[in-house]
Amino acid sequence: MSDKIPLDADHGSVGKQFQPDGKVGSTAQQVGGPFDKEGAVGKQFTKDGAIGGTGQAAAEQIQGDKKPLFDKDGAIGKQFKGKQEHIPPLGQD
């Protein structure tokens, strides 16, 4: 990955600060409890968590590592997958 997007958890200037050894992440580790990387709050900031995952998906999409966000397999588009059923036009039951 030659392009470094600031949000990227592994290489970005912002994203890496949320790692357990980064400035933000290490402070949270010291506080512990819910802010620990495994805690209720802290785990949301990992690259697999709700907050960190969204930032990571955006960074990877910008770098071309992932499908566009609204693609059927993108971070947002895949949330709308479900059972598809045929709905006939009105009056054509």
Domain boundaries, the chain: 16-63
pLDDT in tens, 24-67: 888 888 888 888 888 898 888 888 888 887 788 778 777 777 77
User: Rounded to an integer, what distance in angstroms lies between the CA atom of residue 62 and that of residue 19?
Assistant: 21
**CB atoms inside a 10 Å sphere around CB 5:** 20
User: Rounded to an integer, what distance in angstroms lies between the CA atom of residue 15 and that of residue 70?
Assistant: 22
Q: Tell me if residue 79 falls in helix, strand or coil.
A: helix
Mean per-residue pLDDT, 4-8: 74
